[in-house]
């Protein structure tokens, strides 16, 4: 997605060979115009999958997920990373290890929000080692529902999550695919293919 790639090149800060900071439009401050376009793009890519619900994880997945839900005219639910005082019973949980934060979180969703007849589109901001996406897939599976696809805003294709999730057979669509962050430079998968040709 060209507008997203342009935004990453203009505003993204390469913190290391593995971490990209995008706090001007996705992870802290959020760009509503770009989020609207992202929602429309996901809706176009998953529009024929019979999606009935969007599932994401707090907090950075919420903006792209709600925009997609608006376009697909379905509801969106986000998994919580912390136990809520009002959310105690009837929870579906999964354990997610975060390589960036070096901690394990138990994520949870109230079981009343995902039903067996749901076809769920999972949306997240980044795909790195795939643990967040696999945890969300686990929650949908435990609910007895179907995963209709996984939509990722920024995939770091050089980490193993993309392969792990695609190997489950689930359709994965990433709007920007980063081949490398080496030497402080963002290289997209498409540019890399052009270089190789
Ligand atoms: P995974 O579970 O795929 O390893 O990582 C997913 C989560 O880690 C994302 O939802 C995101 O919050 C965070 N994350 C992973 N890599 C990056 C990165 O390079 N930059 C930022 N800002 N967040 C990241």
| Tokens (6 digits) for 185 | 């430079």
- DSSP one-letter code for 133: H
pLDDT at residue 107 greater than cutoff 80: yes
Nearest CA residue ID for atom 11, ligand 1: 126
Tell me, yes or no, whether 169 lies in a domain: yes
- List pLDDT tens digits, range 135-175: 999 999 999 999 999 999 999 999 999 999 999 999 999 99
Tell me, yes or no, whether 120 lies in a domain: yes
Phi-psi category of residue 102: left, alpha or beta, with phi > 0 → left and psi -120 to 50 → alpha: left
Closest of 6, 36, 37 to residue 22, by C-alpha: 6
Q: CA 81 to CA 98: how far, in whole Å?
A: 11
Q: What is the pLDDT of residue 99?
A: 77
Give me ligand 1 centre to Cα 102, in Å.
11
pLDDT at residue 35 greater than cutoff 80: yes
- For ligand 1, whether the C-beta of 25 sits within 6 Å is no
Q: What is the pTM of this model?
A: 0.95
Mean per-residue pLDDT of the chain: 94
Check if the beta carbon of residue 195 is closer than 8 Å to that of residue 186: no
pLDDT at residue 87 greater than cutoff 70: no
pLDDT at residue 196 greater than cutoff 70: no
Q: Choose the residue to mutate in 128, 132, 133, 138 for probing ligand 1, maximizing ligand atoms within 8 Å of C-beta.
A: 128
Read off the pLDDT band of 102 (50, 70, 90): confident
Q: What is the pLDDT of residue 85?
A: 67
Closest of 94, 22, 8 to residue 60, by C-alpha: 22
Q: CA 101 to CA 172: how far, in whole Å?
A: 24
For the chain, what's the residue count?
197
Handedness of CA 40, 42, 48, 51 (dihedral sign): negative
Check if the beta carbon of residue 151 is closer than 8 Å to that of residue 46: yes
Q: CA 136 to CA 78: how far, in whole Å?
A: 10
- DSSP one-letter code for 80: B
Tell me, yes or no, whether 14 lies in a domain: yes
Q: What is the pLDDT of residue 197?
A: 47
Q: Average pLDDT of 12-39?
A: 97
Q: Which range of residues forms the domain containing residue 49?
A: 2-82+91-144+160-177
Domain count, the chain: 1
- List pLDDT tens digits, range 165-177: 999 999 999 999 9
Tell me, yes or no, whether 194 lies in a domain: no
Nearest CA residue ID for atom 19, ligand 1: 19
Q: CA 113 to CA 135: how far, in whole Å?
A: 16
- For ligand 1, whether the C-beta of 131 sits within 6 Å is yes
Q: What is the pLDDT of residue 64?
A: 98
Q: Choose the residue to mutate in 126, 160, 166 for probing ligand 1, maximizing ligand atoms within 8 Å of C-beta.
A: 126
CATH number for the domain including 125?
Answer: 3.40.50.2020
Tell me, yes or no, whether 187 lies in a domain: no
Tell me, yes or no, whether 36 lies in a domain: yes
């Amino acid at each position: 997605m060209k507008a997203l790639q342009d935004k990453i090149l203009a505003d993204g800060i390469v913190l290391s060979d593995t971490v990209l900071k995008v706090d001007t439009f996705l992870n802290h401050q959020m760009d509503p115009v770009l989020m609207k376009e992202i929602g429309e793009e996901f809706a176009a890519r998953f529009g024929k999958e019979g999606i009935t619900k969007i599932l994401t994880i707090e907090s950075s997945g919420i903006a792209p997920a709600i925009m997609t839900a608006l376009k697909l005219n379905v509801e969106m639910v986000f998994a919580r990373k912390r136990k809520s005082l009002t959310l105690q019973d009837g929870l579906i949980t999964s354990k997610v290890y975060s390589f960036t934060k070096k901690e394990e979180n138990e994520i949870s969703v109230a079981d009343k929000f995902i039903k067996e007849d749901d076809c769920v589109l999972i949306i997240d901001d980044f795909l790195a080692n795939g643990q967040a996406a696999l945890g969300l897939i686990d929650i949908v599976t435990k609910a007895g529902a179907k995963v209709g696809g996984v939509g990722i805003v920024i995939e770091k294709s050089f980490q193993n999550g993309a392969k792990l999730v695609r190997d489950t057979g689930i359709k994965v669509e990433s709007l920007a695919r980063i081949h490398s962050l080496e030497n402080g430079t963002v290289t997209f998968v498409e540019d890399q293919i052009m270089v190789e040709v």
